[in-house]
Amino acid sequence: MALIAIAADKGSPGVTTTAVALAAVWPRRALLAEADPAGGDLVYRCAAAHGGPLDPNTGMLSLAATARRGLVAEQVWDHAQPVSGGLEVLVGLGNSEQSTGLAGVWPVLGSAFAGLAGSQHGAADVIADCGRIGVDPVVTGLFAQASLVLLVSRTEPEQLARVRDRAAALSARLHGAQRGTAHITPLIGVVLVVDARDSAKIAGQMNDMLVASQSVARVVGVVAHDPAGAGQLAGRRRGSAAKSLLVRSVRKVAADLHQQFGAAWAATGAGTGTRMPDGAGGPR
């Protein structure tokens, strides 16, 4: 695989939590990139591997500056930082104003992220937290380079309707004339944040809505609505996030994605294990 872009239509359905958990349990080596144009949170949530704070100036902002002069995949690692627990991250922008300077480099960043999986030196898959997307997503250039775009949604009726419509609009923008053909890329998937008791029923209803709207998107997994697990993952609550219902559900999503798409997404180099960001605290 190469690049998975994770986003939401509206509100705060858990994009960052899903992205962090997915990167932590990913079967291959993974890099978590905070590609949200509104800014990132990990610099406040997580401690660096050395125990101190993460460097807010080393990450997406410094990588974008490099990208203006051209970028090869291996250079991405020059801007990554390991957090306590082993997860490697590209910390996000400090605020939304900084995103205006990235308008022309999203395709370059996307290409570098996509190329990292096949790199001979430091191969990894990139999980990109893209935050909320609007009518004219500024990160479309990154989406176009992805193998998979995941839209995260909660299960209130209005949220389901919004993600159905967003999937259709995103497909029209990204696929164009490819719509309706087999093997289109990027694939568009929906991940539902849901109470475990209702997961199968609601996933089926969402798929019915997508089919009825002639969307190419499908539900690819469900993530447990687990506030306690989310708090552990963010370092705001004691306990092992690795054992939480949240992380167990995300681990199943990762396994299902590899089972369904792994052969097509295969690339050299792999790593295994759970790389939880621990030692996180409150804002620094």
Note the pLDDT tens digit of each residue in 2-41: 899 999 988 778 899 999 999 999 998 999 999 998 889 8
Note the pLDDT tens digit of each residue in 153-192: 999 999 999 999 999 988 888 887 655 544 577 899 999 9
- Using alpha carbons only, give the angle 117, 23, 54 rounded to the nearest 5 degrees: 100
Note the pLDDT tens digit of each residue in 65-121: 999 888 999 999 999 999 988 899 999 998 888 887 787 899 999 999 999 988 887
Distance, CA of 70 to CA of 233 (rounded, Å) = 35
- Structure confidence at residue 135 (pLDDT): 63
The two three-digit tokens of residue 95, written as one number: 């605020």
- Structure confidence at residue 21 (pLDDT): 95
Distance, CA of 89 to CA of 30 (rounded, Å) = 9
User: What is the gyration radius of the CA atoms in the chain, in angstroms?
Assistant: 17
Burial label, 185 (beta-carbon count in 10 A; 0-12, 13-18, 19+): middle
- Structure confidence at residue 270 (pLDDT): 43
Judge whether 51 and 71 are in contact, CB under 8 Å: no
Rounded to an integer, the average pLDDT of 145-150 is: 93
- Which secondary-structure segment (H or E) carries 34? strand 30-34
**Tokens 């605020």 identify what position?**
95
Closest CA relative to residue 242, chosen from 281, 276, 208, 284: 276
Distance, CA of 177 to CA of 154 (rounded, Å) = 30
For 244, the 3-state DSSP assignment is: coil
For 274, the 3-state DSSP assignment is: coil
For 281, the 3-state DSSP assignment is: coil
